[in-house]
């Protein structure tokens, strides 16, 4: 029977992915391309995830994020490229290498939990240890149950648990085997809004306390930016950007990434000069030097403005408030400067007369216009 | 309303028709040959028929043989059936559909049609008049493979994927995930298999020659060749004796069996 992909257990020695002194690499993906019969779902994907990071991969449905998790887990067999987990190659089609899922040392939290209906909560937690022939440390499991708020429910089966409790069992099961890498496949999308918020808090707290390495895929930008110490954006099978939330916020690779990573406005400007990391642009009759995307060219460009890029100032640009929303300690207003589209700005108070604003050049970001 | 009443009457009639032979066997077994056909409620009860039946043939040996044959067949069917069903349900391999079609075709063939060919095979293996030969042709059950394949296919694939990622190999997944989830089907199938093989007559009759390998149904045959005519009382006592274990098991586990049949969709 050749259905199961060939499993090779004696892989070549580990390939170091990190220089001395740097944290070890929990996951490295090199040139991963994957096709289904009618479409390419992942295209030349490169990704490096240092150990101890909680990475969130953001993408719409059909962007290839679930396929990526399946490839990392070994459920799907990679067609090209290479996957390395904790410095150990696990998939390399060029060498006919495919390590079976059970030998990759992973844990996974599923969107629909995938709990076994015939097993109790306790049995779920013991499963990864027994399956890997490891000793079951009942004290450690009890502590884990306590951490995820499931103490007292050890003997219940999934059918007798609420949606949130089931998701926490899925999380505890994935953590019980001390995985090298935790994969989370839209773990919060099957629960209601209140439960989602509670589970996010659980995840964040668990990550802070236990310090595991995780790759969490989601379509929810709030979730990704709240949880991720590193965030990636996947669009139609391509990893558009991979970096810290700050990098994605301040230096987004595209307008779409900019919108996913937070509130922003866009002003069309003329790029006069481009010097690699900065550019001179003319906006509202004044020349500004702003940080710029490497692909920007002289001519038309888009100036991305976060709410902190425009600040109240005397002798600034005269603006008209088009709308405002109170945010507890300040207002998020949308203002029009000349004929511009509404631009976001933080204001302490809503002034009685039109405000004047000054551009903080370091908080702006210049993006190319793709015709 | 009229329809349901009609249905109820029909059900009672069918139930009466079904239970009548059993009631007659009970009556005849506990009465002498002379009283068996007179249905006199005041006729004296006797256990003599059971004693005569027990002494007429080595029934203890037949019971043991039947129990061993039925257990061996069931275990083999469950092991082979679940492994084959798992492969057909979850793996892609060359010739999978062709092989499965052959198994489905086997479902259409009456086992008795294959008696001659099976006898030849068993003879070539030197197993004639051996208990193993009674069960051997049934070890790879097409019905079992088909039923378990359908059951395994209804198990969400994510349950298997979760087990694989958490460290379980394919056989561990079968043992810890698929088989526990298929338990109602396994119980229902087990009952069908046990009752079929407990009652099977023709093949054991053909393939066994001595009391050492005979099973109960073949042993019962000694009563049907009586020169003095058929003694219904002794036959009934013997029939009750041989079917008692199955009847008792069904009555004790009735609820579990019915639930399993409902879940498995076997009628």
pLDDT in tens, B126-137: 999 999 999 999
pLDDT above 90 as % of chain A: 71
Per-residue pLDDT, A13: 33
Helix (H) or strand (E) holding A311: strand A310-318
Q: Which two tokens stand for residue A220?
A: 């929810």
Whether A237 shows a pLDDT value over 60: the answer reads yes
Closest CA to A165 of A182, A148, A144: A148
Phi, psi of B217 (to 5 degrees): -60, -40
Contacts of A177 in chain B (CB under 8 A): 166-167
CB pair distance less than 8 Å for B166 and A1? no
Per-residue pLDDT, A46: 94
Do strands A278-283 and A265-274 pair parallel, antiparallel, or not at all (unpaired)?
A: antiparallel
Contacts of A6 in chain B (CB under 8 A): none
CA distance B219 to chain A (A): 43
CA distance A311 to chain B (A): 51
A8 band by pLDDT with thresholds 50, 70 and 90: very low
Which range has the worst mean pLDDT, A31-40, A46-55, A96-105, A230-239?
A31-40
CA distances from B145 to A290, B55, B136, B157, B183 (A): 70, 41, 16, 19, 15
Helix (H, G, I), strand (E, B) or coil at A209: helix
Are B219 and B209 contacting, i.e. CB atoms less than 8 angstroms apart?
Answer: no
Per-residue pLDDT, B42: 79
DSSP label at residue A158: G
Are A114 and A42 contacting, i.e. CB atoms less than 8 angstroms apart?
Answer: no
Phi-psi region of A295 (alpha: psi -120 to 50; beta: other; left: phi over 0): alpha
Q: A106 — contact with chain B (CB < 8 Å)? A: yes
Per-residue pLDDT, B44: 86
Indicate the residue of B93, B161, B170 with minimum beta-carbon distance to A75. B161
Residue of A nearest to B168 (CA): A131
CA–CA dist B226, B228 (Å, integer): 5
What is the DSSP secondary-structure string of B238-262? Answer: HHHHHHHHHHHHHHHTHHHHHHHHH
Q: Could you tell me which residues come within 8 angstroms of residue B183 by beta carbon, excluding any fewer than 6 positions away? A: A118, B260
Tally the C-alpha atoms within 13 A of residue A8's C-alpha that lie toward its C-beta.
Answer: 15
* Average pLDDT of span B254-266: 74
* Average pLDDT of span A337-342: 87
CA–CA dist A254, B225 (Å, integer): 94
Helix residue ranges, H only, A190-327:
193-210, 221-227, 245-250, 255-260
Contacts of A115 in chain B (CB under 8 A): 162
Q: Which two tokens stand for residue A175?
A: 């953590």
* Average pLDDT of span B204-223: 90
Name residue, tokens 């005041």: B42
Helix (H, G, I), strand (E, B) or coil at B203: helix
The edge-to-edge listing of strands for the beta sheet with A106-109 is: A106-109, A181-185, A214-218, A54-59, A230-235, A238-243
B267 band by pLDDT with thresholds 50, 70 and 90: low
The edge-to-edge listing of strands for the beta sheet with A320-326 is: A320-326, A331-336, A343-347
Q: How far apart, in Å, do the first and last CA atoms of chain B sit?
A: 26
Chains A, B: CB contacts within 8 A come to: 81
| Complex ipTM | 0.82
A15 band by pLDDT with thresholds 50, 70 and 90: very low
Per-residue pLDDT, A20: 53
Are A89 and A29 contacting, i.e. CB atoms less than 8 angstroms apart?
Answer: no
Helix (H, G, I), strand (E, B) or coil at A287: strand
CB pair distance less than 8 Å for A75 and B91? no
A368 band by pLDDT with thresholds 50, 70 and 90: very high
pTM above 0.90, yes or no: no
* Average pLDDT of span B146-158: 95
* Average pLDDT of span A193-216: 88
Are A108 and B164 contacting, i.e. CB atoms less than 8 angstroms apart?
Answer: no
pLDDT above 70 as % of chain A: 94
CB pair distance less than 8 Å for B172 and A131? yes
Q: A3 — contact with chain B (CB < 8 Å)? A: yes
Q: Could you tell me which residues come within 8 angstroms of residue A190 by beta carbon, excluding any fewer than 6 positions away? A: A111, A112, A113, A163, A167
Tally the C-alpha atoms within 13 A of residue A145's C-alpha that lie toward its C-beta.
Answer: 20
Q: Could you tell me which residues come within 8 angstroms of residue A260 by beta carbon, excluding any fewer than 6 positions away? A: A58, A221, A224, A233, A248
Per-residue pLDDT, B159: 96
**Residue B35 forms part of a structural domain:** no
CA–CA dist A262, B123 (Å, integer): 80
Whether A258 shows a pLDDT value over 80: the answer reads yes
**Residue B33 forms part of a structural domain:** no
CB pair distance less than 8 Å for B161 and A73? yes
Q: What is the CATH number of the domain that holds B253?
A: 1.10.3720.10
Segment of A118-127, B20-29, B215-224 carrying the highest mean pLDDT = A118-127
Per-residue pLDDT, B225: 66
Contacts of A106 in chain B (CB under 8 A): 165
Residues forming a β-bridge with A324: A333
Separation of CA B166 from chain center: 38
* Average pLDDT of span A243-271: 92
CB pair distance less than 8 Å for A1 and B93? yes
Per-residue pLDDT, B250: 85
A23 band by pLDDT with thresholds 50, 70 and 90: low
**Residue B111 forms part of a structural domain:** yes
Do strands A214-218 and A54-59 pair parallel, antiparallel, or not at all (unpaired)?
A: parallel
pLDDT above 90 as % of chain B: 65
Task: Give me chain A's average pLDDT, please.
Answer: 89
Alpha-carbon Rg for chain B, nearest whole angstrom, is 23
Residue of B nearest to A179 (CA): B166
User: Which of B86, B90, B167, B180 is the best residue to mutate to test the A interface, defined by the most A CB atoms within 10 Å of its own CB?
Assistant: B167
Digit-coded pLDDT (tens) for A138-187: 999 999 999 888 999 999 999 999 988 999 999 999 999 999 999 999 99
**Residue B53 forms part of a structural domain:** yes
Specify the number of domains making up chain B.
1
- Residue B193 belongs to domain spanning: 44-263
Whether A218 shows a pLDDT value over 90: the answer reads yes
**Residue B107 forms part of a structural domain:** yes
Contacts of B90 in chain A (CB under 8 A): 3
Digit-coded pLDDT (tens) for A80-89: 999 999 999 9
Digit-coded pLDDT (tens) for A301-326: 999 999 999 999 888 899 999 999 99
CB pair distance less than 8 Å for B164 and A112? no
Helix (H, G, I), strand (E, B) or coil at A275: coil
Q: A4 — contact with chain B (CB < 8 Å)? A: yes
A2 band by pLDDT with thresholds 50, 70 and 90: very low
Per-residue pLDDT, B229: 67
CB pair distance less than 8 Å for A177 and B176? no
């Amino acid at each position: 029977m050749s259905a199961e992909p060939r499993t090779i257990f004696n892989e070549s020695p580990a390939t170091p992915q990190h220089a001395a002194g740097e944290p070890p690499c929990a996951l490295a993906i090199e040139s991963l391309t994957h096709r289904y019969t009618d479409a390419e779902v992942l295209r030349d994907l490169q990704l490096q995830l240092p150990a101890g990071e909680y990475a969130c991969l953001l993408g719409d449905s059909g962007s290839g994020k679930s396929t990526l998790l399946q490839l990392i887990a070994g459920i799907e067999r990679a067609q090209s490229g290479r996957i390395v987990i904790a410095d150990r190659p696990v998939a390399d089609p060029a060498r006919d290498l495919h390590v079976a899922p059970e030998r990759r040392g992973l844990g996974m939290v599923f969107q629909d939990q995938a709990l076994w209906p015939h097993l109790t909560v306790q049995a779920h937690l013991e499963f990864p240890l027994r399956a890997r022939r490891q000793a079951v440390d009942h004290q450690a499991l009890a502590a884990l149950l306590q951490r995820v708020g499931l103490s007292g429910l050890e003997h219940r089966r999934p059918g007798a648990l609420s949606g949130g409790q089931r998701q926490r069992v899925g999380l505890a099961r994935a953590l019980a085997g001390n995985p090298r890498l935790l994969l989370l496949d839209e773990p919060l999308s099957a629960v209601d809004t209140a439960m989602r918020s509670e589970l996010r808090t659980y995840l964040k707290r668990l990550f802070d306390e236990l310090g595991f390495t995780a790759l969490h895929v989601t379509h929810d930008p709030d979730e990704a930016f709240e949880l991720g110490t590193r965030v990636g954006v996947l669009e139609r099978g391509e990893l558009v950007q991979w970096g810290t939330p700050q990098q994605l916020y301040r230096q987004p690779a595209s307008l779409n990434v900019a919108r996913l990573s937070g509130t922003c406005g866009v002003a069309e400007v003329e790029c006069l000069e481009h010097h690699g990391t900065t550019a001179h642009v003319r906006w509202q009759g004044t020349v500004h030097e702003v940080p710029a995307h490497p692909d920007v060219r002289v001519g038309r460009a888009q100036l991305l403005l976060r709410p902190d890029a425009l600040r109240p100032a005397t002798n600034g640009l005269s603006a008209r408030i088009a709308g405002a929303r109170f945010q507890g300690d300040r207002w998020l207003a949308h203002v029009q400067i000349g004929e511009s589209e509404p631009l976001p700005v933080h204001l302490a108070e809503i002034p009685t007369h039109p405000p004047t604003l000054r551009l903080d050049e370091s908080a702006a970001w210049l993006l190319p216009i793709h015709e | 309303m009229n329809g349901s009443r009609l249905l109820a009457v029909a059900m009672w009639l069918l139930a009466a028709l079904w239970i009548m032979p059993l009631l007659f066997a009970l009556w005849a077994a506990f009465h002498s040959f002379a009283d068996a056909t007179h249905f006199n409620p005041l006729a004296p009860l006797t256990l003599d028929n059971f004693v005569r039946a027990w002494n007429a043939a080595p029934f203890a040996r037949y019971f043991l043989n039947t129990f061993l044959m039925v257990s061996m067949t069931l275990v083999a069917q469950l092991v082979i059936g679940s492994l084959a069903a798992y492969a057909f349900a979850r793996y892609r391999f060359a010739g999978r559909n062709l092989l499965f079609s052959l198994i489905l075709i086997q479902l259409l063939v009456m086992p008795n049609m294959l008696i001659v060919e099976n006898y030849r095979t068993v003879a070539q293996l030197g197993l004639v008049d051996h208990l193993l030969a009674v069960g051997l042709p049934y070890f790879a059950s097409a019905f079992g493979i088909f039923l378990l394949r359908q059951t395994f296919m209804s198990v969400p694939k994510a349950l298997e994927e979760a087990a694989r990622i958490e460290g379980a190999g394919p056989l561990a997944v079968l043992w810890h995930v698929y088989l526990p989830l298929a338990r109602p089907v396994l119980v229902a199938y087990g009952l069908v298999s046990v009752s079929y093989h407990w009652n099977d007559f023709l093949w054991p009759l053909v393939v066994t020659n001595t009391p050492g390998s005979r099973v109960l149904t073949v042993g019962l045959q000694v009563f049907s060749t009586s020169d003095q005519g058929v003694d219904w009382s002794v036959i009934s006592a013997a029939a009750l004796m041989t079917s008692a274990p199955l009847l008792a098991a069904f009555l004790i586990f009735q609820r579990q069996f019915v639930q399993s049949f409902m879940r498995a969709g076997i009628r």
